[in-house]
Each structure stands twice: as C-alpha cells, then as structure tokens.
Structure 1
Amino acid sequence: MSKVKVFIIEDDFIHANRLEMYLDEMGYELAGTAVGASQALNLIAATKPDLLLVDIHLAGDRDGIQIVENINKKKAIPVIFITSYRDKETFERAKLTDPYVYILKPYDKETLQAAIELTVYKISKINDTQIQNNYHGWNNDRLVKDELFIKSNGILIKIKLSDILYVEAKDKMCIIGMAEELIETRMSLQKLEEKLPIDRFLRIHRSFIINTKEISQINLSKNEVQLGPYKVPIGRSYKEPFINSIDSNID
C-alpha cells in the first residue's frame, strides 16, 4: 500500500506552500514541486507521480498548458489545472490537453480534496472499462501501474494488485488482506470484484475473493486454501467451479 503521489507545478511560493500543506493534511504524498518547464519535466520523469496539480500562468517561456502538452507527448499523467484566469481562450486551450478537473483560484482544501477524489474516480472508471473489454489479454498496461485506487479511513490510497492475497466482506465493509497488513474499505465486495482482473482473482466463497496466483496450498478435506499467512474457506457452492478453474490452469 502507498499514498497517492501528487506533483505540484506552481511558481507562486505562497500557493505552492498552501498546496503542500493541504496535501499533507489530506494524507497524500508530495512527489515533488517545480516552478518551470525544464525542472518539472526532469523531476516528473524521476518521481513518476500519479497526478499533477498545475498552475496555468507560470513565469518563463512555457505556461502550464504547454508543459502538460509536452508531458502528454511522452506519457499522459492525470492533470488538475489551477488558475486565476477565467477567460474562455485559456479554458479552451487547457481543454485540449484533456485535464481531469479545472479549479479556479481562490480555492479551499475541500475543493482540492473533491478535485483529487474526482480525478482518481475517473481513472478507476476508465480502468474498469478497459479490464472488462480486454480481460482475455489483460496485462499491466490495462491498469495504471497495475494498481487499485481505494478510499480507506477517509484517505485515497493505492494498492498493487500483486500484493493483494484475498478480499473479505465483513460488517458492511471489505478487508483487503496483504502479506503484512490488512486494509479496510467501505467499498462492497461486488464493486471490488468488478475492479479485479478475472484471470487473477476468483471468488471462492460468498464472502471471499482470492488471488489465485498467490495460492500456496489447497486443502480440499478442510475446504480451505492457504495464501501467505492466511487460510481462506472454500464455500460449498464454489468448490466445484474453483477446482475446475485450478485444473484448467494446470492443463
């Protein structure tokens, strides 16, 4: 598990400090900051952030829109534009770079929080569609860095799919079991199941989904599987489909 990494491009010291403070209070990781094009492009390539907060009006030969255009030529990163410019021309230029959200100054922490959550939600929806449309040939490129974005304890976090051992529905929430920690989220088991690639994850009980790539032992006499330090039950009605799935993978 890791925090969502946010990179700031802002040449106003006061606004940059405010953004850093807000991100820290909201539980996000600051990937880095830059005041201009060359600095931003070099640091973004090195830090690989999940999303960008970009002020449009910057000192120098390139503004925020031009920097994002340059980034998009290599690898598009979700962008939230922040600006005091309210003219239609600026908005139309910004729109061509496909930003996720456009915030006008002045803004508060709640506005920024909503913008980031909306951006991550849009990313996850795109990934869900790609998984559903391409599940036969699913690969890591179908998800952003092979990661799942979820909200836990009021904070957006990202989890590598390969780190998930199992998911359990419990008391109107879900527990995501990983080798060294358990993460709680209010997302339903059904919603999580929709987000997980079917060539790797399988429901074996009405309350459990497992990562089939991480099975270390199967005990059919006890109707359970071992995944890392965890033992997960196999539901009676799920047993035959589970065995058939394992047999087909062996073949």
Structure 2
Amino acid sequence: MSKIHVLIVEDDPFIAEDIREALTNVDYNVVAVAHNKTDAINALEETSPDIALLDINLGDNLDGILIAETINTEFQIPFLYLTSYSNREILNKVKHTLPMGYIVKPFDEADLFSAIEIAVSNYYQFNKTEALHIELINNAIPNTLTQKEFEVLKDIYQGKTNNQMANDHFVSINTIKTHIKKIYEKLDVHSRSEAIVKIRVLLNQ
C-alpha cells in the first residue's frame, strides 16, 4: 500500500485540523474530516479510507464506539481511537470493538504516525493472502487450524460478534463457540484479545 487514506472523526474542529495538517505534511491522504456520527458514516461510504481515527467522545455521547461497531460490521477497516480519556472505565467500554490501538490526546505526532503505520500493516497483512496466512499460522503452532477455524479466526480478528459469525457462516452460535474454543486451545490463548495479539506476533515473525 503506497499512500495511506485516512478518515478523521473528531468533534473539535481545531484538533481535527491539527491532525489533518500533521498527516498531510507527511504525505498521508486525508480523505475526509467528520465531526459527528452521521458525517462519519457518510464519509466511510463515499471515500473508502484505509484507516479511521475515531474520537471516542463526540459531543456529549460516546458515538465513536457506535462508529467503530459500524466499521466492524459494514466496512472492515482498521481504526484507532483518539481520546482524552485513559481510565479503565472508558477502556472497558471500547475494548469489545477491538481497535488497533489508542492515541491519548494531546498526542505526539511521531506516536500517531507510527500507530497508523502499524495498524494498517498488521490489519491488511492478515487479510492479504488467505492461503499464505493459514500456512504461516499452522507452521507456527503444534495443532493446525482447519479451514473453517481459520475463517472464524479472521472474523475474530476483524471484530465480528458471535451472532455476526453465525449469520455469515450459516451455522448456530453454539457451533461458532465450539470453533472459538478449539481456536483458543490451538493458539494457547484464553480470550479474543489474546488471540489477536498472538496472530499479530506470528505475522511479524
């Protein structure tokens, strides 16, 4: 991927402009700047960004979380949270959306750039060539994943819920749970977040 196309979702126009200017100065392509949930969804539909930067708190609401959930179900692109909050309560509210990372405001430009590069690289590396990745993962673990388990693992990595996976694969939720249990056993992990970290490590070996 050459020039990275970025969507900025930030309700403070001054902060949004600072981010846009910083990214543009180092040759990112800012495809849109949105200040609310409606504009963000419209921008996702119209501009096809490679990554979204989401302010968690838009106005008086945590609409950044709702945008993230929409990205996971409809757009399947990586996203980073931009937030003034770093307390555990906020992190607990957002972790189910499986962001590729967090940038706490005020942010350092170098940290922002590196977070974007890592997020885009990890996300698209996983989705680029399915056959290569299942072989890569299976070569690194003692008990290999089946094709179906690999498909479910990709869904986990993309942040899909059990209900979404069941609908996508035309199976019951219990079947999805069985696949997930076997995946955890084969990867030697105990949660979705641990599975994602394990895959990122394997992909960067």
TM-score (norm 1): 0.50
Pairing 1:4–2:9 present: no
Structure 1 Cα separation of the partners of residues 74 and 27 of structure 2: 29
Deviation at 1:130, TM superposition (A): 2.2
Structure 2 Cα separation of the partners of residues 99 and 29 of structure 1: 21
Query: Partner of 1:102 in structure 2?
Result: 102
Structure 1 Cα separation of the partners of residues 113 and 83 of structure 2: 16
SS of the residue corresponding to residue 59 of structure 1 reads coil
Task: Give the paired residue count.
Answer: 135
- Structure 1 gap ranges (5+): 136-251
Structure 2 Cα separation of the partners of residues 75 and 47 of structure 1: 11
- Give deviations 1:25-64, integer Å, cap 9, x for gaps: 1111011011111111012101010000111111155521
Structure 1 Cα separation of the partners of residues 58 and 107 of structure 2: 18
More strand by share: 1
Deviation at 1:133, TM superposition (A): 4.5
More helix by share: 2
Structure 1 Cα separation of the partners of residues 86 and 62 of structure 2: 19
Deviation at 1:17, TM superposition (A): 0.7
Contact 2:13 2:35 in 1 (8 A): no
Pairing 1:43–2:59 present: no
- Structure 2 gap ranges (5+): 136-205
Structure 2 Cα separation of the partners of residues 25 and 46 of structure 1: 24
TM-score (norm 2): 0.60
Structure 1 Cα separation of the partners of residues 87 and 3 of structure 2: 35
Structure 2 Cα separation of the partners of residues 47 and 99 of structure 1: 20
Deviation at 1:106, TM superposition (A): 1.2
Structure 1 Cα separation of the partners of residues 75 and 19 of structure 2: 24
Contact 2:6 2:50 in 1 (8 A): yes
Query: Partner of 1:116 in structure 2?
Result: 116
Q: Give 4+ residue runs of structure 1 displaced > 4 Å after superposition.
A: none
* C-alpha distance 131-29 of structure 1, shift in aligned 2 (>3 A): farther
Structure 1 Cα separation of the partners of residues 72 and 90 of structure 2: 18
**Could you say what the CA RMSD is over the residues aligned between the two structures, in angstroms?**
2.0
Instruction: Give the stretch that moved more between structures: 90-99 or 121-130.
Output: 121-130
Structure 1 Cα separation of the partners of residues 67 and 53 of structure 2: 12
- Give deviations 1:87-132, integer Å, cap 9, x for gaps: 2121122211111111111112101111011112212431356241
* C-alpha distance 88-16 of structure 1, shift in aligned 2 (>3 A): same
